[in-house]
Amino acid sequence: MKPSKIICVGDFVSRLLVDSSIPVDLVIIDNRTMRRMRQERESLRVKGENVFRVSNPAGTIQIAAWAALSEALGKPDSTLIVKGEEDLLTLAAIALAPRDALVVYGQPCEGMVAVRVNTAKKSEAAFLVSQMTRE
């Protein structure tokens, strides 16, 4: 079954899918791979009019990042560029994505993970987010 949306979290995975001509609806990047800044020539080319920029420090999910991700999901061919770290935004992507979306992210030194969004996955992501400390 074709996913309702494809969402990529992470520079390496996003580059891989985009370079493979897979139609990605939302790319979430921070211009770093395994916490190293990407060289300008290696950076993913940002396309389209729907480019969002947000700050999200490492180990957090900022309210502004959550809101920007939500807005980006409502627009076609969006890119969310994060100053800080995008890793935990995977949970937000799963929680916010429509059912049957595919959220793809990298597992460092392991490979790629693809999560088909369903009610159980959305609940699991929401539960994990609810366990985080609010400041």
Quick one: pLDDT at residue 13? 93
For 79-127, what is the HEC assignment? EEEEEECCCCHHHHHHHHCCCCCEEEEEECCCEEEEEECCHHHHHHHHH
Q: What is the pLDDT along the chain (135 residues), one digit of tens a residue?
A: 899 999 999 999 999 998 999 999 999 999 877 555 444 444 555 565 799 999 999 999 999 999 999 999 999 999 999 999 999 999 999 999 999 999 999 988 889 999 999 999 999 999 999 998 776
Quick one: pLDDT at residue 108? 83
Quick one: pLDDT at residue 41? 43
Residues 35, 28: Cα–Cα separation, whole Å: 15
